[in-house]
Amino acid sequence: MSIYDLKVKDTKGNEVSMANYKGKVLLIVNTATACGFTPQYKELQELYDKYKNQGFEILDFPCNQFGNQAQGSNEELVAFCEMKYKTTFQTFAKIEVKGENADPLFKYLKENTKGFLGSAIKWNFTKFLVDKEGIVVDRYAPITTPLKIEKDIEKLL
């Protein structure tokens, strides 16, 4: 099984194949709009603007499992990010990243990396870096700001 065998849902509920991202470097993030880490959207957008033409994509997955910090509909979450942080990278439907209902993508990401204290995702803005071949290269804690990942992204591009 590869990351490219998985499907996720866009904000309208349509299935999107991860195979659409073959050959791209991916930064996959579980996010929330009312979290202390929410200002990281600014740096995520900076990275996206800088590297999107070199085969870099950010995949944003809102999650309301940590302190109910991603309340609202998919459309409301996208509108907030676009208005407040001018985001242009892909936001997907709200998902679960932990527990028995965790989305298969995040199960896959967790199985292929280990974070501090094991594989569980502890909070919003956990980040996973995936190379052009679909291999999960690294995982970053919520406190790791996006710009601190820039050198790792550059190496993969």
Residue 84 CA to residue 48 CA, distance in Å, equals 16
Task: Clarify whether 81 is annotated catalytic.
Answer: no
Residue 91: Cβ within 10 Å count? 21
Geometric angle at alpha carbon 154, from 152 and 157, rounded to 5° = 115
Residue 24 CA to residue 96 CA, distance in Å, equals 24
DSSP for 71-100, please give it: -S-HHHHHHHHHHHH---SEEB--B--SST
Residue 20 CA to residue 41 CA, distance in Å, equals 23
Phi, psi of 57 (to 5 degrees): -130, 145
Catalytic residue among 6, 27, 28, 35: 35
State the catalytic residues.
35
